[in-house]
Amino acid sequence: MSFTEIDVQNALKDLTDPNTKRDFVSGKSLKNVKVNGNDISLDILLGYPAKSVWGEIKSMVEAHLSSALPGVGKVSVSVSSKVVPHAVQRGVKLVEGVKNIIAVASGKGGVGKSTTAVNLALALAAEGARVGVLDADIYGPSQPTMLGISGQPNSADGNFLEPMSNHGIQAMSIGFLIDGEDTPMVWRGPMVTQALDQLLHQTKWDNLDYLVVDLPPGTGDIQLTLAQKVPVTGAVIVTTPQDIALLDARKGLKMFEKVGIKIVGIVENMSTHICSHCGHEEHIFGAGGGEKMCADYNTEFLGGLPLDIRIREQADSGMPTVVADPDGNIARVYKQIARRIAVKVADMAQDHSAVFPKIVVQNT
């Protein structure tokens, strides 16, 4: 019995990608179908980084085709990922060397936003993406400590800074440029926004799929500058279940909506407390607040993380959870959230500005 490419496509219309919840044909992941007698070969190209599940998807597709097409011979499936730039605010140009910028924000301080940001960045990198972190908290930079990076960045040409790196991700922070960890940044708003602009645009980012921007808490100068000058693909809001934290998180979400930045979803940090002695888990800050906020604003609940002393200890030591305990339960949750963010970004409209040639008008 012989098969055609159409037969293969029709068979895969019945198979759903477990991450996107769409079949591989309508999701445009199916590529290069080749039929040679009874043998079939094809590529599955995912729009999100998913190195840890490539093997699972390969086996799933091969098994499905073997059962859906009676008499099929050898089935060869190659799975890979390719991240492309996606649309940002109208009128804002992309940053050189960066495909997508994901802002991680919170309405108030103390909700674990920076810890969440660095672990999500490391989780995306663990899935095979090229990732950077921009520490936009000028007054309280914490990424140098969390990433275990010391020293100052180099500048090969005197104009652009080379990003610092550790754990496989690129990083830039005002913390790399000041003398001593206890040196305060006594700056007014315009100086802070100028510093953010320079850290973003004068860093020589090296072909990043994602740049995770760790924002300071609140809805002030930095956030407004981000909305006006920084090409943000989407924002992730971090909150805790407490009513007061949720109240401020709602303000942050509404601010992004007003300035035209898409909300990727909400992460609820400190959802439960895990006792370090007995392992008992309880909702000491309340329960269900993040899900309710998502329902109120029609956005996605990306996941909940526990209040666990190991998360704090690992981040303080410069080895965040995703690299300190990559196979542990907490790292698994960070990776699930990161993959969900990447899938949501992949579903957004693509940026096609590079497709159109630049038009130059000259007098002749």
Distance CA 244, CA 251 (A): 11
Mean of per-residue pLDDT scores for the chain? 84
Distance CA 29, CA 47 (A): 8
* Mean pLDDT calculated for residue range 59-87: 92
Q: Would you kindly state where each structural domain of the chain is located, as residue ranges?
A: 5-81, 98-346
Tens of pLDDT, residue by residue over 182-206, are: 555 555 556 667 778 888 999 999 9
Which CATH fold topology does 5-81 show?
GMP Synthetase; Chain A, domain 3 (3.30.300)
* Mean pLDDT calculated for residue range 269-286: 68
Distance CA 91, CA 229 (A): 9
Tens of pLDDT, residue by residue over 96-136, are: 999 999 999 887 677 888 999 999 999 999 999 999 999 98
Q: Is the dihedral of CA 180, 186, 189, 190 positive or negative?
A: negative
Distance CA 271, CA 244 (A): 14
Give yes or no for residue 252 having a pLDDT over 50.
yes
* Mean pLDDT calculated for residue range 69-83: 92
What dihedral angle (degrees, nearest 10) is formed by the CA atoms of 113, 117, 118, 123? 140
Within 45-111, residue ranges assigned H as helices are 54-68
What dihedral angle (degrees, nearest 10) is formed by the CA atoms of 58, 59, 62, 67? -150
Residue appearing with tokens 């290069």: 32
Residue 261 in 3-state DSSP? coil
For the segment(s) 98-346, the CATH number from 3.40.50.300, 3.30.70.20, 3.40.50.1100, 3.20.20.80 is 3.40.50.300
Count of C-beta atoms within a 10 Å radius of residue 259: 15
Greater model confidence, 230 or 146: 146
* Mean pLDDT calculated for residue range 294-321: 87
Give yes or no for residue 284 having a pLDDT over 90.
no
* Ranges 157-161, 226-230, 303-307, 319-323, most confident: 319-323
Q: Is the dihedral of CA 253, 258, 259, 265 positive or negative?
A: positive
Give yes or no for residue 220 having a pLDDT over 80.
no
